[in-house]
Copies of this chain bind each other. A is one copy, B any other.
Amino acid sequence: MIIDYSEQLIVQEVAPRDGLQIEPTWVETADKIALIDQLSHAGFSRIEAGSFVSPKAIPALRDGEQVFAGIRRRTGVIYVALVPNRKGAERALAAKADELNLVMSASQTHNRANMRMSCEASLAAFGDIVALARDVGGVTLNGTVATAFGCPFEGRIEEDRVMRLIDQYLDLGLDGITLADTTGMANPRQVDRMIMRALHRLTPASLTLHFHNTRGLGLANVLAAYEAGARRFDAALGGLGGCPFAPGASGNICTEDLVNLCDEMGIPTGIDLPLLIELSRTLPALLGHDVPGQVMKAGRNCDVHPVPEYVRGL
């Protein structure tokens, strides 16, 4: 099969937001800032740096303002903030986030579980946020369709429904759209079909895929999406993150595992893999537990090991 692997794959690093949000251990604001600054240095063009949600709902990210105020903004890097509602949007705009990421689930049940409102109520709130952001200016808007590939409560989600939601997001005037496999239910064949359809509505530069590695399919799904024409992907350092509604699940696809795959296949990412691995190896001490990333344990595909002494003697 002849496929062109020369086009850049853009990784949006989400560990500082999606990764840290479910961590039970408090990560100091200074450590969050240092992590984001090091990620900026590693070559990412997009970093989801924080969330402006209620500190009661997600205490781990209650320092969004301080984080955005403290990071050293690197030219060319877009610092994204997740916002769940108008109040969050006001805070994110005041903090000078470069992009706001709005989230709604394709599944009514999951949206109620996650956002405590119906999809219709979410969409109406998005309208307010778009108007507010356009007033303030200087910010781009991304809309995430969570559970786009399946819902842990409702099961399979109709592809037509996902396409309608994309259309509704575009009608609202959002600049980019993320299709999220929130609990790792996607498979490569489904991904291929979904991307083909989504790219009739969106350009590769305005479509992001957000996969989880819950059942070991994360990188296979990325590859299927890339081969179908997608170019932008979320990933979290160390494979941090997860979904509270998917018990036993592992988290987001792991950034360094993804960049290792790209390096091996010749897909350019612009990201410094050795630095990324070094950074990932600091996570267990920061968080107090092992992380799911595999390359930070096994090394890159291309790393060789010393020949054992007894072999030299043979």
Name A residues whose Cβ lies closer than 8 Å to a Cβ of B. Answer: 1, 5, 109, 112-113, 116-117, 150-156, 184-190, 192, 213-220, 223-224, 227-228, 245-250, 254, 257, 260-261, 264-266, 294-295, 297-302, 304-308, 310-311, 314
Pick from B151, B227, B265: contact of A187, CB under 8 Å: B265
- CA A156 to CA B264, docked complex, whole Å: 11
Q: Which residues of B contact A249 (CB under 8 A)?
A: 297-298
A308: nearest residue on chain B (CB-CB)? B113
Contact B1 A192 (CB under 8 A): yes
Contact B155 A298 (CB under 8 A): no
Pick from B184, B187, B190, B223: contact of A298, CB under 8 Å: B184
A248: nearest residue on chain B (CB-CB)? B297
Given A298-B248, A299-B248, A307-B113: A216 and B215 within 8 A (CB)? Answer: no
A116: nearest residue on chain B (CB-CB)? B314
Q: Which residues of B contact A156 (CB under 8 A)?
A: 302
Nearest-CB distance from A126 to chain B (Å)?
19
- CA A16 to CA B39, docked complex, whole Å: 43
A188: nearest residue on chain B (CB-CB)? B223
Copies of this chain: 2
Q: Which residues of B contact A217 (CB under 8 A)?
A: 219, 257, 261, 301
Contact A254 B216 (CB under 8 A): yes
Nearest-CB distance from A211 to chain B (Å)?
12
Which secondary structure dominates chain A's binding surface? loop
Contact B257 A215 (CB under 8 A): yes
Given A215-B257, A216-B254, A247-B305: A1 and B228 within 8 A (CB)? Answer: yes
A265: nearest residue on chain B (CB-CB)? B189
Interface centre among A217, A223, A228, A266 (most CB of B within 10 A): A217
Nearest 10 A-B pairs (CB), nearest first? A187-B264, A220-B220, A248-B297, A216-B257, A189-B265, A216-B294, A249-B298, A152-B305, A112-B311, A185-B301
Pick from B187, B220, B264, B305: contact of A301, CB under 8 Å: B187
A249: nearest residue on chain B (CB-CB)? B298
A152: nearest residue on chain B (CB-CB)? B305
Contact A294 B250 (CB under 8 A): yes
Q: Which residues of B contact A301 (CB under 8 A)?
A: 150, 184-187, 215, 217
Contact A216 B214 (CB under 8 A): no
- CA A306 to CA B246, docked complex, whole Å: 11
- CA A299 to CA B227, docked complex, whole Å: 28
Nearest-CB distance from A284 to chain B (Å)?
13
Nearest-CB distance from A38 to chain B (Å)?
22
- CA A154 to CA B306, docked complex, whole Å: 9
Supply 30 A–B pairs (Cβ within 8 Å), ascending by A: A1-B1, A112-B311, A113-B307, A117-B314, A153-B305, A154-B304, A155-B302, A155-B304, A186-B301, A187-B261, A188-B261, A188-B265, A189-B264, A213-B216, A214-B294, A214-B298, A215-B295, A216-B219, A216-B257, A216-B295, A217-B219, A217-B261, A219-B219, A219-B220, A220-B223, A223-B223, A223-B224, A247-B298, A247-B305, A248-B298
